[in-house]
Structure 1
């Protein structure tokens, strides 16, 4: 890549122009041309630079001046500033870090946090105004579409557009040369440099009127020149910049990346020829939109940004909390005005000033910004003014929440009562709980929370009664629905009560577990009784045991839990006063009770020690709800039986067995078993860890049944007694019908069916494993994957029948081995007589044929088309109608092969030599065939 000499001369002239005035610049080049030069090899760049005497670093190194760009507009595009080093960033944020520094804990813990809200706000204070310079310009749009001000000073490089009309029509664009002249056609050179745009138009109009009679002139500015200015001081990137001749001081600052946070925004100086011609206060621009001091720059102007001097921070409840630079501001009132004034939530009467005193120590000073003296407080460098907010709490208010149409706040007034907030039942949503409502009240001066219960129905309907309680400021009323779980609505209140608990002052909370309508935690109200707690839980479940319930009570002094028995049907027990952390355990008459007291049992077990045994007893055996229960004071064996729901129908109510464990507390432990006459159960006191075993009546049997299906005279489900046999129930059912085929009856037993199910599951798993192993074997000669998957599908469809092979005729004849004893769940299926022989398996035409006496197995196989190629001819077997199997190896098959009977099935299995890779194939197919035969018999019923 080569660069023309003319282009490099232009580059060199531009570079040297950094050190010369704008008027002495030889030529302007574009950024693209400079980039083209930078693409040259380094050696070629150095050779050309040496030839023309140019400092190469001015072209390829960090630029002192921004390359010549078209003049920026106010809509300049910006990109984020280039990242600084960590040290430079910390230096740039020195003031913010100093302001954020707060006193730590006395022990020097760096993680200590301020405890006041205003301090937290003040820690995040940022210096005001510097966000304006958060980006640096990446491109500049040319200024060609905005009017040129009349005081614009024309100079070399500007373009002037003239339009003559009248006698002659001429339109030309004239450039101002280095000498400050333009060449006006027909007139000659005219000096224009140094004139304002207004003076230029007036002078040219005069010349045309004098020398070109009959013509009139219109003058506008064309493309404007660029000027070179310096941005120095605490700019983000100080240096020389080429900008538009219409640019102001703020444009130059933008081009330099803005102002560092250690630079001043309020004392920016514009210097011309060594003299300060203007001072720019950017606060006027930012806070008031005043640009009058933002003058247009001229070539060689210097925008100087001095370091920041006095700063004061203000945080808290003001519109613009920030760190502000002071100029003419002196007082606290001045800084509040800079911050935009107070927020509506501010409480300026309580404000604080933090400053560093003459000894270098931090001090706090309370000031009242509502008073003249507070407003006139003189501010010093580094002061932090904190304005606090009003209290978040609304004092004179009563709140209504819950099951109401219009929840919210009501203004409190003297003498206000519940009926003033709830004047009518129509204020409540449908299906309200009219017996239970609560008031959250703050007790002054500590504002400790207490809860008061009230009756919404009486308060509304009887406003003159004591139920219509007098309300106090900040009361909060909770209303509930009859079908509404109260847990979520009370969650915040319960948390408040727990948070205000102290040592030996447990939280004022009580609970219900078990079978009430709404279990959970409830606030302990003044004078609350067991009946009140039931109202809070919206009464009991319909199956709750009202005669027996437990109250567990925690003693904060001993850190122990005790248990008390109560009757929810007893007015005396319902009037029992409750204490903090009491829990009511409600049991069901129809569901197990142990889950209700599981947590309580765990507490009683954990608190046991040498002084306090485990206050737990057990009841096992034939009671409704056996398990572990708390040992209450004076508990007897009869009470334990009652706790467990009482006896079952099958319970042996004569004697029980009581097991007692005892120890001397040091080295001896013993266990004693003794019989307990249940007549004395009500006077037999229990000890910790006693176990009461309730026996079952000997030979007690639950109702056992068998089912008869099919060709019996009276099919159905029959209840059987112990020892009853098959022939007995067949006779009870009236015997078989004339269409019955007793020899083909299917007898199914639940225990056998369960065993078959387990065998099927094991067989399926084994088949899957062998199938997976065979699939992974390379070059296997076993069955195809498709055949194996087909077998697996058939095996999955096979059902466990649980068939017990019996000789029905022998059973009815009373033969002991066949007339089996029945079990609960037995099923007997008696099909119709089936005058057919079935052939299944590896034959060409699996089918059924009319039974013909005298035909042999081979005869029927021939009728089915004979054997397939893969049939195992030596393994043919017959499944008799009663389910028994006769194979070629049996004596029956050798003697009686020609004596088939109606309902028999001939099975031709697959030759396992074809399946040498799957050893389970024969077993699986046999199970499938046997299951299919039994299901086919049952399916006819």
Structure 2
């Protein structure tokens, strides 16, 4: 029995604790026993309301709550639940103050599925309801207007504070009354929030004497606004809708998806108490932004969307083409205003309209002066055409004038008038003749020649009268001159072709190209073309050649006059060669860079200059690494070696340029020591590198072998010994094509004669390479069957022939 009593006490304590935090989290003294997971959604909402009434956030309340014993973990849970409640709540609340009236609203949000879009998106006004980003839902976060009419379903929060206190949330009953404790029932339905507040204050003052004396104050707050029901008929999604009592006509129309396919946008009826209260014209809002028709709704209002009476189509060069609904008495000018007028390319003098008769169509032309009087008929199709791509008063001048351009043409305009408009002739203008290209009446063109000099002096015969679309061209004397050039090549800093000027001398040209290079000699060769009116059969010369020698004393040669198309060539010094450097590295006494002392400097000479080979040098491991020059790659590119469409030429040149870059020349040092004239003692070039490797007793085996390794060298052991030492070749290895790379870069391959195969000799520091066996296409079973069939047929044919 004691255990049962203990459990009951603990349960009551827990329940009381939960109730305490739900009722007053700020005033509780002990919050250590609170379990947030056990709090209901209503209790969380009460905590949130308490924080809102105290005008503090949960973050601001954190130090106070933790000081009263709540653990940080439970506080984090509480904060998360409050945040989740804010996001997932179906209540939207707003507060505001108007005068001395505090208004707070709480409205259940009604969600609807997006209505089906209007079938005809060209109808003007349909985009207002088809666009999901447009929404006319009321903003419940704004203060409730003071002229808000109370009704059943609204809820008021009435509070008395001061000497006497009273606080209660009171709903307006179905009879339109509120019931206040000790005060009684007060009828507020149909009253504005402002009038109801004054009435409630007066009634409370009769009971609470301190209110009348001013020692206590009364606060009336609208804490929850009611939901009303409206009916939409003729909409894209007709039906009954539950909306806020603050909703407007456009809000309900948007929920219904706007008018249906045949619904009117101009004569929408708002019916209240079985009477048409107002006719709504959506175009008034779309064209002028006027929301006079967007009035508030009442409970049981009916929005009726009738079928349209007349629609017309406006297409072509207007800013907003589409289908438009017209009212009686509206003109084509009104239709243009709905479409925002003509665009910049429209032909505005007249508009074409296709009109329906009882039997067929007819076409009318509406002139500009009739736009304000023509009344469109239902089914009219107006087409606004584009202006013509031509000019009524254009004339053009081009060539040697200061402002060549297109100008406006006037009747009676002459050549001199157009030249004046173009701000006169340039200095290079050719005045003896100009031309006019003119379009004739039969659409062919003719040329009219003009004596420009006489025309500008006032000669009426020469000062030709111009016509529309004439193109007047004034030549430049520079157009009749040949462009003269001088060529200079050889040992100058900037060789090339340069413009020729009168009195140009050799010295002028040399200065213009930046002077001579350091390798320039005194010899100058000038080639000049031969000009003659007759052909001399005995004279085979193509050009005249002048050989000059420039010296500081010979100023006359420096001032040698040049002529157009001369070719000047500055010769190079007979002996002018910069020092060339080679490099030697590896096992020599003094490795490094060495300058080639003479043109026949050889390998032996450089090795000796480097102090000779060291004791650990491999005599069989000397080689020369020579850079591949660009001219060698060009030689390969200039030779076509394409085979069966395989561009081997391009692949080879690219490989030399990007991958190999160097050529290896093997050197037989032992032969060179015995005979300095041996072919291995090659002549060196600048950029060469002599590499002397150290003696290495290992033999490397790479490629398609089972184990890539380095085997110690053993004298008199043959090729197969080293292959077997690494486990032999693998399934892809091609042994008969195996080769050896010796230390000096020379290679040797296996050879075969009849059934005998010989492999190259193995030396220390060699490298044995086993390549990959090429893949061959094996015959399929079908191909084997085909061959067998052919052989069988041939055999039968032979047997038959010998019978």
What range is the shorter-chain TM-score in?
0.3 to 0.5
TM-score by length of 2: 0.44
